[in-house]
């Protein structure tokens, strides 16, 4: 009985060409149409794993983790200095969905620095900001502004401990003046102290005390006065 040979079914060649064109695993530098270049790992034609991206228009470099085509994980972002052309580190830390997210350090061009938590590319959570004038704020942040509880330390040694809202002192707080040996405890609204009690605090050891000590004012219950002011503040903001 004769043997009938059937032709082997073959898929179109472009299927094979397409498979070979898919980027997966470690690749050498791949150039985009706009001149951007990426060197690193791929998965299903997307940047995934460890890799380095260079943007042609800005010269910026990101080196770190990728997830399905986006910066996600730990990585460092740098830009070239417009004058010296040397690379200046901008951000080192964690990324989520192509934005700063989690713990990280951001270096500002004016020598300021933020160390702390991020969310959706903005300072949010707990963080520490070093300002150019030497001031340091450490505390809670929300949408890129101090919000919640925090401490601001000034170069002269003075400090504020208390509430913040939209980047301003807001709510119950204490302002220490070690240079004068005084303490102001009260209620702030939009950076302005609205009421409080000012007392001498370590005045004998202060480097620049006031000429005369504060006169003593007899209050039956100074703590009660502040407590009542706090209660009124809380009621007005609920």
List domains and CATH numbers for the chain.
36-107 (no CATH), 113-211 (2.20.110.10)
The pLDDT of residue 11: 63
Collapsed DSSP state (helix, strand, coil) of residue 224: helix
Q: Which residues of the chain have pLDDT under 70?
A: 1-27, 211-212, 214-238
Angle in degrees, CA 62, 67, 68, rounded to 5:
115
**Structure letter (DSSP) for residue 208:** S
pLDDT tens-digit series, residues 183-214: 999 999 999 999 999 888 777 777 777 766 76
C-alpha to C-alpha distance for 62 and 76, rounded to whole angstroms: 6
Collapsed DSSP state (helix, strand, coil) of residue 210: coil
pTM over 0.85: no
């Amino acid at each position: 009985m004769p043997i009938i040979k059937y032709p082997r079914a073959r898929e179109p060649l472009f299927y094979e060409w397409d498979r070979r064109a898919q980027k997966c695993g470690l690749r050498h530098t791949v150039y985009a149409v706009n001149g951007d270049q990426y060197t690193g790992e791929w998965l299903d034609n997307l940047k995934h794993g460890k890799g380095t991206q260079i943007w042609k228009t800005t010269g910026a470099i990101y080196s770190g983790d990728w997830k399905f085509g986006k910066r996600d994980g730990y990585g460092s972002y740098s830009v070239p200095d417009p004058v010296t052309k040397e690379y200046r580190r901008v951000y080192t830390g964690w990324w989520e969905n192509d934005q700063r997210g989690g713990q990280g350090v951001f270096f500002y061009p004016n020598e300021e620095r933020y160390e702390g938590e991020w969310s959706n590319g903005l300072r949010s959570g707990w963080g520490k900001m070093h300002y150019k004038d030497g001031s340091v704020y450490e505390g809670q942040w929300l949408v890129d502004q101090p919000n919640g509880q925090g401490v601001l330390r000034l170069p002269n040694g003075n400090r504020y401990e208390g509430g913040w809202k939209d980047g301003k002192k807001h709510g119950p707080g204490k302002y220490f003046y070690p240079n004068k040996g005084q303490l102001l405890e009260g209620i702030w609204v939009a950076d302005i102290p609205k009421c409080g009690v000012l007392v001498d605090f370590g005045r004998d050891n202060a480097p620049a005390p006031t000429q005369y000590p504060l006169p003593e004012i007899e209050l039956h219950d100074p703590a009660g006065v502040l407590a009542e002011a706090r209660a009124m503040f809380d009621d007005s903001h609920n």
